[in-house]
Amino acid sequence: DAGVIQSPRHEVTEMGQEVTLRCKPISGHDYLFWYRQTMMRGLELLIYFNNNVPIDDSGMPEDRFSAKMPNASFSTLKIQPSEPRDSAVYFCASSADRVGYGYTFGSGTRLTVV
């Protein structure tokens, strides 16, 4: 398996533009998580899915953020409109089991909003 695949690796966009981040989890993993990492706030859980269903989106900062998982092999995180304070590294992770075999993280998308 190629692991969790995120795209793009880097994204630079202007304030006000729509940004879409993509994630392909490991095949067979039931859980998918979106995290955001910044120097100031560390790693924050934004939302997670179980069997493609959003379970907890309480970490999504604002209505400008939305996430979907249309099938077991694909998820998107969308920011519309983007703002400079959204600049961060966004990680997707997947996990096979609720009891906890650990998460497998993607390499992240470094988002810069100018």
Residues that bind another protein (CB under 8 A): 4, 31, 33, 35, 42-43, 45, 48, 50, 55-56, 91, 93, 95, 98-108
Min. distance of Cβ 107 from another protein in angstroms?
A: 5
Instruction: Choose between 7 and 81: whose C-beta lies nearer to another protein.
Output: 7
Min. distance of Cβ 79 from another protein in angstroms?
A: 20
Min. distance of Cβ 26 from another protein in angstroms?
A: 12
Instruction: Choose between 50 and 73: whose C-beta lies nearer to another protein.
Output: 50
Residues 34/77, Cβ–Cβ less than 8 Å = yes
E-only strand ranges, the chain: 5-7, 10-13, 19-24, 31-38, 42-50, 53-56, 65-71, 74-79, 88-95, 104-105, 109-113
Alpha helices in the chain (DSSP H): none
